[in-house]
Amino acid sequence: METINIDQFSQVAIHVGTILEVNEFPKARKPSWQLRIDFGPELGIKQSSAQITHLYTPENLIGRQVLAVCNFPPRQIANFFSEVLVLGLEQADGSVVLLQPERAVSNGLRVS
């Protein structure tokens, strides 16, 4: 594993947001959801594509807070632009467990 220093880490803007909307993403190569996430008044609402269909349904995603990298450039996936990278832990079977705060916090807070 390559090491980085604290200045490099501090350049990664990881923020908390609340999932507002979940839509199917039939054009994705791997099963994915399209997410609309509220990151608070400074960052606003961003969209992301997430390969989390194994463990999460739209019903149990809406209202859930998640952590995401918010300062990567947008990435086009099929006909969709993903603006943030939702963070999760990939298990041995390929399913992804979302990273989230252990209690409700204000949208937009940055990991420090």
Instruction: Report the alpha-carbon distance of residue 104 to residue 46 in Å, rounded.
Output: 19
Cα(23)–Cα(6) distance, integer angstroms: 37
Give the pLDDT of residue 54.
95
For residue 40, what is the domain's CATH number? 2.40.50.140
10-59: per-residue pLDDT in tens?
999 999 999 999 999 999 999 999 999 999 999 999 999 999 999 999 99
Q: Are strands 65-69 and 45-50 parallel, antiparallel or unpaired?
A: unpaired
Burial pattern 99-111, b for ≥16 Cβ within 10 A else e, equals bbeeeeeebbbee
Given this model, what pLDDT does residue 105 score?
A: 98
* Number of independent structural domains in the chain: 1
Any domain includes 104 = no
Question: Is the overall model pTM greater than 0.85, yes or no?
Answer: yes
Q: What average pLDDT does the structure give for the chain?
A: 96
The pLDDT tens digits for 63-99 are: 999 999 999 999 999 999 999 999 999 999 999 999 9
Measured CA to CA, the distance from residue 110 to residue 89 in angstroms comes to 19
pLDDT at 76: 95
pLDDT of residue 1: 92
Q: State which residues form the domain around 22.
A: 6-98
